[in-house]
Amino acid sequence: MAKRAPKDEKPFNPIESALVERVASRALVRDSAVALAEDPAPTAPLVTEVFPTPAIAKRPPREKRVLLSWEEELALQRLLDQLTETLQTPVKLSNALRSCLILLRHAQGPIVESAARQGNLVRPANNDQTGIALFEQRLASIFQAGFTTAGKLD
C-alpha cells in the first residue's frame, strides 16, 4: 500500500527549476544561432555565452522486483547454494543476476537477430499462467540461440 506524504512535506516536482532554466537557456542560444543564420549582416558582433555542461552524476542503484513461484525460488536458492559450496565463497542472488546481465549485454546483438528470425510473439495476459510459461520458454530459446551465436566472453 502506498504511503501518504506528511502534510508539511514539499510535494514532488519532476521538473525542477534548475532543469527548466538549463533547457530554456540552451533554447535561447539555439534561437540566436538560427536568427544569425537567417540574418546575413548582423549589425553588432554576437557574444555567445558557453554554458558548462554539468558532470553526469552516476545514478544510484535501482531496485527491480520479480515475482517467483515457490518452486522457482527454491531451485534458484539451491543453485546459489551449490555455487557457494563449489566456489567456496558466498554467491548472492544479486551477484548471479548481474552476471546474467553481463551475458545478456554480451549477446544482445545475436539475441535480437534470433528474435527477428523467431517472428512475432504475443505476450499473454498476466492471469494466463500456462500462456506466460510458454511465452517465457520461447524467450529462453531465443536467449539460448543468442548466447550460442555470441560465443565466449572476453
Q: Is residue 140 part of a domain?
A: yes
pLDDT reported for residue 94? 93
Residue indicated by cell numbers 512475432 = 120
Between 49 and 69, residue with greater pLDDT = 69
pLDDT reported for residue 57? 73
- Do residues 94 and 146 share a domain? yes
- Do residues 86 and 145 share a domain? yes
Give the DSSP letter of residue 44. S
- State how many domains the chain has: 2
Domain that holds residue 102: 70-150
pLDDT reported for residue 113? 95
Whole-angstrom distance, CA of residue 71 vs CA of residue 92: 18
Between 95 and 40, residue with greater pLDDT = 95
Q: What is the dihedral of CA 81, 86, 91, 95, to 10 degrees?
A: -120
Give the predicted TM-score (pTM) of the model: 0.59
Q: Is residue 4 part of a domain?
A: no
